[in-house]
Amino acid sequence: MDRPPQPYGSRAETMQAFADHVSRGKVEAFNALGLDIVLGRREGPYFWDAFDGRRFFNCHCNGGVFNLGHRNPTVVAALHAALDADEIDVGNHHLVSGWKAHLAARLAATTGGRCPGVVFSPSGSEAVEVAIKTAYAVTQRTEVVSVHGAYHGHTALAAMAADARYHEPFRLALPGFVHVPHDDLAAMDGAITDDTAAVVLETVPATLGMRVPSDGYLAGVQRLCRDRGAVFVLDEIQTGLGRSGHLWCYEHDEVEPDVVVTGKGLGGGVYPIAATIMTPDVHRFYDDEPFVHVSSYGGSDLGCAVAITVLDLVEAPGFLERVEEVGLHLEKELAVLPCEVRRRGLFMGLRWPDAGAGILAAKACIDGGVFAVFANNDTSVMQFLPPLVLTDAEVEELAGAVVGALS
């Protein structure tokens, strides 16, 4: 198969152009770590270096963007079919779209009909932004409670709900944002007041090291929100769409959020799309203000065609059971390592006792052909997010590579 040429003729030229025009700091950090990867061909669970052909298992998956692997043939075919139909393109956010309507109905059905209202966005950050703005509007309140160490995106409201390291460097200091420790129900109880518009939580916080909440924690937060009239928002951008072995990770805890936010994997790795899924009480705001929030690329018709196919794959019989089966198998294989394995489905983290160990582990894995990253807000943890569609042979190969790299 012919490969498209790289824009530059060498690794050095590529690195220099990236440093000059995109991020000098990133290139300098990679050089310091001895990482000189230039992303080239990609297929299934793998990607290759553009210049020397080194192959890597992708066990970062961009936080779930590549849940179905790189260039999943069924997803790519859906995008080609949509483009070749000579009927659709991005669409027009002012007009009625059957593609938007159908995807919204499919997403609503994943919640058992509890959250029938959907607002589309191009990215997860913007979808979190929609959740917070809408909570302000429907409650007429001004505070948001979230947790230290969280990550919800880089737009203003999303960054304020996230850990301080994501908003303080930008001098963002918007009022009304309160942060409490993760998995501390007493602290949450003290933080939710009569002026709390929303509590925004990741079901399992990734950048905090895949810390699975204690039994009853999310249910307790839900109860506090119900008692005090706050909107209960769960950020499932990384944990959702089958990653945890359930379609939504909150199903492990048997809670019923008022708002579910999804993104990343919804676009199948080929077209960005995200969604904020809401109960009628929350979504009713858009009945009264139908034109107050618009997005030129949110819920594009092409993106909807891709996302419908993603749901077809994730909801296929046996898919979720397979995710749990592979996760359990990998957990058993990795048990030989001197670390704690944190897991829900294939949402996994490997934690060592020492700060910084996750960084060293990620570097060792990359050197061994497995691309993984450390948890930004707990460097004792290496994030481990294999694609959800590994074959038995790929599972065995991956387990052997990780154990070999980290032993």
352 part of a folded domain: no
Closest CA to 301 of 83, 77, 73: 83
340 part of a folded domain: no
- Spell out the residues 6+ positions from residue 66 whose beta carbon is closer than 8 angstroms to its own: 58, 265, 269, 387
DSSP label of 204: S
Output phi, psi for 65, to 5 deg: -55, -40
200-245, pLDDT tens digit by residue?
999 999 999 999 999 999 999 999 999 999 999 999 999 999 999 9
For strands 46-49 and 55-58, give the pairing: antiparallel
Q: How confident is the model at residue 86 (pLDDT cuts 50, 70, 90)?
A: confident
107 part of a folded domain: yes
237-279, pLDDT tens digit by residue?
999 999 999 999 999 999 999 999 999 999 999 999 999 999 9
188-202, pLDDT tens digit by residue?
999 999 999 999 999
Work out the end-to-end distance of the chain between its first and last CA atoms, rounded to an integer number of angstroms.
Answer: 37
109 part of a folded domain: yes
Q: How many residues does the chain have?
A: 407
The pLDDT of residue 178 is above 70: yes
pTM exceeds cut of 0.85: yes
383 part of a folded domain: no
Answer yes or no: are the C-beta atoms of 164 and 288 closer than 8 Å: no
Q: What is the domain-level CATH number for residue 205?
A: 3.40.640.10
151 part of a folded domain: yes
The residue assigned the tokens 């779209």 is 97
306-357, pLDDT tens digit by residue?
999 999 999 999 999 999 999 999 999 999 999 999 999 999 999 999 999 9
C-alpha–C-alpha distance, residues 370 and 348, integer Å:
14
Q: What is the DSSP string of 102-144?
A: HHHHHHHHHTTTS--EEEEESSHHHHHHHHHHHHHHHHT--EE
Q: How confident is the model at residue 4 (pLDDT cuts 50, 70, 90)?
A: low
The pLDDT of residue 1 is above 90: no
139 part of a folded domain: yes
% of residues, the chain, pLDDT over 70: 99
Query: Side chain identity at 61, as an amino acid letter?
Result: C
Q: If you compute the radius of gyration of the chain from its CA atoms, what whole number of angstroms results?
A: 21
C-alpha–C-alpha distance, residues 348 and 197, integer Å:
31
C-alpha–C-alpha distance, residues 21 and 44, integer Å:
30
C-alpha–C-alpha distance, residues 319 and 325, integer Å:
10
The residue assigned the tokens 């198969």 is 1
The domain of 267 spans 93-314
257 part of a folded domain: yes
Output phi, psi for 106, to 5 deg: -65, -40
The pLDDT of residue 3 is above 90: no
Which residues is 260 bridged to in the sheet?
A: 234, 277
- If one counts the domains in the chain, the total is 1
